[in-house]
Structure 1
Amino acid sequence: MTTTPPHPAHQELVRALEELHRAAGRPSMRRISTLIEEGDHPAVVSHEGVRAALKGLTVPRWETVQSIVEVLAAACVDPPRDPAGEVARFLKLWRAIREGESGGHQSARELGLSQGWGTDDGRWTPEAVLGLMINPFNAIEIHPSLTVPHEPMMTEDEWVELGLRLIEESGAEMALRALLKTLKGDYLGAGEGAPYGYHYPDREAVDMHTAYLHGCDLLLRRLAVEPNLLQRSIAAMHADETMDREDRLAMLEAESDRSLMREVMTVTPETWHEISEEAQHQVFGYLVKSFGPVGPIGLPPEQRYRYDWRIPEPSEA
């Protein structure tokens, strides 16, 4: 350990150690030293070494700070503290003494490996400010086509390496403007309707799910104004001799589940979102014989999708 004149960063480290010591119940210096010696810590610290670190008499080695912080964090119970998280917090404070303001900043690699931006306690870290400033979301509306799930073409490290090469060859401004241009939807391949490296996972399945959700909205409207619609639809289903055999077996098997049918038979538009998804599908199967898209993408749902009701709508009847 080396003696140094008072330094603002050192004072901040001492204040943080004092706060952690207090939160741990102020164990004695000897107790802290003993716990360090008994545990798996990077350094063995005498009680005088603990005292010197906590009182700010010297700037301790990092291994000393880490050992003390691990022991004190593990002793906190109300509320508990994560020793690993506390060690990461104190590492920045200790580095700031050695390296100045930049010592408190994460390296690019540390930022890439870390979780979150460190603002859970309400304090803005340098990394959080960087994250806010660099996020294109704050400057543009990201094009919807870029939100489609897809298989990455390269690893994150490879993408970073390519970005660095682009910055070196073309400059940082060119790289950032190219990123914004891409995220706004003016990407390579946009003219053909699909960006290079992106694909829609299952357009038909997504389309049918959208049709189902719209159909649920329609059936709730009908249930609200047509008396006994569910009971009449159930009778119509059982009497339908043209119904697909597998579909009929699935519906009949579901009817053997008393708990499920209790949900089905007592459903109302007001309780629709309280029943299970299985019950919602059963009600839909009773009321709707078949459904699907009949118009091109882009039309409103009421024009794009067709529903063959077991009991025709009053206007159709």
Structure 2
Amino acid sequence: MSTSPHPESHEALRNLTTALQELHRAAGRPSHRRVSDSIKDGPYPGTVSHEGVRSTLKGLRSPRWETVESIVSFLAGCCRPPRDPDIEVARFLPLWRAVKEGDAGALKSAREFVLAQSWGDDVGSWTPEMVAGVTINPFNAVELDPALTARHDPLISEEEWVKANLGVIEQYGAEFFLYALLRILKGEYVGEERGSPYGYQSPSQDMDEDTAREAFDFACDQIRRRLRAEPNLLARSIKAFHCDDSLDEEEREEILRAESDPSLMREVMTLSPESWLEVSEEAHLLVFTYLVKEGRTVGRPGLPPEQRFLITWRVSESPDI
């Protein structure tokens, strides 16, 4: 039996209705009777009269979950291209729970959060989990250890962070809070940027001249060390570079132009750790491109270079070296 929604659930019911109407449109607006008959004859968890389909799609009453699940499963298969019924049902469950339980119902349980392995949804809208994730993130309240983050000014005090997260725990439970905190500390945080160390430092952050020089000198030392220990490293790196499908066309074309210069390639192919300081800047840049896939700053000024800078090699270094 359907029930009238609590007055506080009107907005949640509108959200559920809007989502159902979007799915109905995407499915080609099948008639209410067709939806009802198809659900009756198919492998769905409940049966729905055509009047029940109409009232559900128009948001006239708060429907049972079996009604929503059956309608969503059927409509998902009618979409072109078809939508995955399981994914659509999972998307509608928190919308329906919000009608019954308010804001807390819209939030995934701790177990659902762990299984989802993400903060958001497939349509890019903000979810309750994302809002909680921003509140929980300790980066906003403290300057974390330099091995985990770039230096930054906290946005709020530690006392404000504790007070806000006591509210999160009270509303969503300690289990959700702890799983969310673990996810954040692993770098999987709301707004994370691909390639950022532990998710905390923007890779676009500009280096000052001193930092750039320190990073360059550290990279040179590491390249010479590896060339000395691995005589075939350059050849292997060149092969790995040309097999790298992630390179953009502009970068690939630039290297191909450089490789068309016989004198430059002679410098590169005869380079050794001892002759490193004698070759041209162009040869240095080409060797850097071959050997280093990415370099970035991960520690604060004052740390030893090996803790401050991180090199991602195109050919991984053997643990035996």
Higher RCO (CA-CA < 8 Å; seq separation 6+) = 2
When normalised by structure 2's length, the TM-score is 0.46
Question: Which protein is bigger by CA-based radius of gyration?
Answer: 1
Normalization by structure 1: what TM-score?
A: 0.47
